[in-house]
Chains A and B, each alone.
Chain A
Amino acid sequence: MEKYDVIIIGGACAGMSSAIYSSRRELKTLVLTKDIGGQIAITTEVENYPGYESIMGPELAQKLKAQAEKSGAEIKMEVVTEIKKAGDDYILTTANGEYQAPVVILTFGLKQRQLGAKGENELTGRGVAYCATCDGPLFRGKKVGVVGGGNSSFDAAEYLSTLASEVHLFNRTDKYRAEDVLVDTVKAAKNITIHNFTEIEEFVGEQRLEKVLLKNTSTNEASEIILDGVFIEIGWVSQVDSIKGLKDMLEIDERGYVVVDNQSKTSAPGLFAAGDVTNTPFKQAVISAGEGAKASMSAAVYLQRLKGGSIVINNKK
């Protein structure tokens, strides 16, 4: 089993920033992640990450990775399935083996919320999609739907209206959480129809999505619409459950977020967390990056105490 000083689970803004700070402290650092960049990698333009007036999300993700690697961190594209405690250390299991470290930093963010409608799982990737910027261009000239009333769904609708022939936006109420300016743009688009008080009951199709069964949430009236694709953009939820043993080790709030103090410590010694996975408010790339740095600095202090040495205050490099 390979031993590290610090293992970071997750490879987006919080994780890569953690990795940069840990490896610059000359701590043997491993990042285990299923992807690079997380939510940022599926965003189009990022215009609020300081230092870049404007940068494409995937490019920012690659830059974070390159910087973490240059700092000395090892990055493995492996999914952690289980965590166990062994003395002062944690043992992490992936499909490729086990990794051990006294410090684990949780930075694996959130996962996209599913609608929970009938046929959704079966038709995912066959017309049901969760990433307009990834899969949108595959629906050029086709009829598509978008589910949700927030910024991400209105954003998706606006983007898809430039590609698809028709866009139908489904919202359960007549209120929108999206910014007014975005709502106005969507309302002004000629090929977007907003269906208020409407939810999707079922996705129907054999090999691919053929039609969608709808229900009016105020009158219960049923209807259907023929669509080639539907993009589900209804937010993000906790995925703490995806690692066996994790939620029994630490405090988690009612929404599934990992509870941390102002030094990024969880309730379990040696377990730190940063970014969207935590109960820290405001899910933003720059906040995650800052929190990731803080978690690593806090972890370095913990490691020094554990090893009984003096505490290094400044970075060595």
Chain B
Amino acid sequence: MATELNNETFQKEVLDYKEGPVLVDFHAPWCGPCQMMGPIIDELGSEVEGSGIKVFKVDVDAQQELAQKFGVMSIPTLIIFKDGKPKETMMGVQQKENLKSMLEANK
């Protein structure tokens, strides 16, 4: 599973996390492609558990401030953060294996 973040938990779990890359899925309940991405993100979250890699979700409807801060203008947008900074940005539905190898490359 991948946990939903809000403004405060985002600071702690993503921006202050220094042990490895963090993948964040910016999504919304009304977006069809996001509904496809959701289960993939959950699976990925379970698979990387304990590896130092973290996977989270942000609902752009509930967290408009976060969406604005990272310039999310299309969803789903996936951002890989490293040492609190955005390293890679991907838009649209992504395949699990690709995400995994990108996360490994940023370890």
Contacts and interface: CB of A to CB of B under 8 A. Distances in A.
Interface of A: 34-37, 41-43, 57-58, 61-62, 77-79, 95-96, 124-127, 129, 131, 133-135, 137-139, 207-208, 229
B52 interface: no
B9 interface: no
Contact of B77 (A77, A125, A127, A139): A125
In terms of DSSP, what is the predominant structure of the interface of chain A?
loop
Contacts of B98: 95
B102 interface: no
A126 B71 contact: yes
Nearest to A41: B32
Interface of B: 28, 30-36, 40, 60-61, 67, 71-75, 77, 91, 93, 95-98
Given A36-B36, A58-B35, A124-B74, 4 more contacts: A58-B32, A129-B74, A134-B32, A208-B73
Contacts of A41: 32-33, 35-36
Contacts of B28: 137
A229 B73 contact: yes
B65 to A, nearest CB: 13
A19 B71 CA distance: 39
A133 B41 CA distance: 22
A143 B47 CA distance: 42
Contacts of A42: 32-33
B77 A137 contact: no
Contacts of A43: 32
A62 B97 CA distance: 21
A134 B71 contact: no
Given A95-B95, A137-B28, A208 B71 contact: yes
Given A36-B36, A77-B95, A125-B91, A133 B73 contact: no
Contacts of A124: 74, 91
Contacts of A96: 97
B90 to A, nearest CB: 9
B95 A133 contact: no
From B35, B60, B96, residue with most partner A Cβ within 10 Å: B35
B73 A134 contact: no
Nearest to A35: B93
Nearest to A56: B32
Contacts of B33: 35, 41-42, 131, 134
Contacts of B61: 137
Contact of B75 (A58, A95, A138): A138
Contacts of B36: 35-37, 41, 61
A134 B29 CA distance: 10
A207 B91 CA distance: 15
Contacts of A126: 71, 73-74
21 contacts: A35-B36, A36-B36, A42-B32, A43-B32, A57-B32, A61-B32, A78-B95, A95-B98, A125-B74, A125-B91, A126-B73, A133-B32, A134-B31, A134-B32, A134-B75, A135-B73, A135-B75, A138-B72, A138-B73, A207-B71, A208-B73
A202 to B, nearest CB: 18
Contacts of B74: 124-126, 129, 134-135, 138
A19 B67 CA distance: 38
B73 A127 contact: yes
A7 B37 CA distance: 23
